[in-house]
């Protein structure tokens, strides 16, 4: 029996995202055809700036989705007020945080496109409107 899904979601493990992110997934119709999930602190941060060993592990996980489940689209989802980024950076503003994370998402996209040239990669952003994640504004920022 073959298990196929169209999408792979790379997301941050932050528990505050769970409910609103699932609502966005259902409402956006972006994930029709099913999706696999890679959930790590900082989403694709470790792919953008991790050690070679961490990057290899990350890409092995992507390969399971693309090779075994035939995912043809990857959605890299980052969010504001991310602890994985705050641990290493002091941002003067939300805009500075977005710029840093967007650069990492683009770096990650380039790494994925080099290894999986036929896979579409979308970059998505969630702007937390409160520190609990009760309201999040979602947008596709590139792709």
Taking 3-state DSSP, the helix, strand and coil percentages for the chain, each rounded to the nearest 5, stand at: 45, 25, 30
Written as six digits, the tokens of 132 are 């609990």
- Whole-angstrom CA distances from 52 to 66, 128, 134 are 20, 31, 36
* Domains recognised in the chain with CATH numbers: 7-142 (3.40.1050.10)
Confidence of residue 1 (pLDDT cuts 50, 70, 90): very low
At 54-100, the pLDDT tens digits run 999 999 999 999 999 999 999 999 999 999 998 888 889 989 999 99
pTM: 0.94
Tell me what pLDDT residue 89 has: 80
Question: Mean per-residue pLDDT for 98-107?
Answer: 96
In this predicted structure, the answer to whether residue 138 has a pLDDT above a threshold of 80 is yes
The average confidence (pLDDT) of the chain is 94
């Amino acid at each position: 029996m073959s298990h196929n899904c169209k999408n792979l979601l790379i997301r941050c493990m932050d528990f505050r995202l769970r409910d609103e992110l699932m609502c966005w997934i259902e409402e956006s119709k972006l994930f029709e055809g099913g999706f696999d999930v890679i959930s790590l602190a900082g989403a694709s941060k470790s792919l953008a700036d991790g050690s070679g060993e961490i990057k290899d592990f990350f890409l092995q996980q992507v390969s399971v989705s693309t090779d075994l489940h035939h995912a043809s689209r990857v959605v890299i989802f980052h969010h504001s007020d991310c602890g994985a980024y705050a641990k290493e950076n002091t941002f003067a503003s939300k805009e500075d945080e977005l710029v840093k994370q967007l650069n990492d998402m683009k770096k990650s996209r380039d790494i994925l496109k080099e290894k999986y040239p036929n896979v579409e990669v979308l970059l998505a952003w969630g702007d937390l409107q409160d520190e609990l994640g009760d309201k999040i504004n979602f947008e596709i920022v590139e792709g």
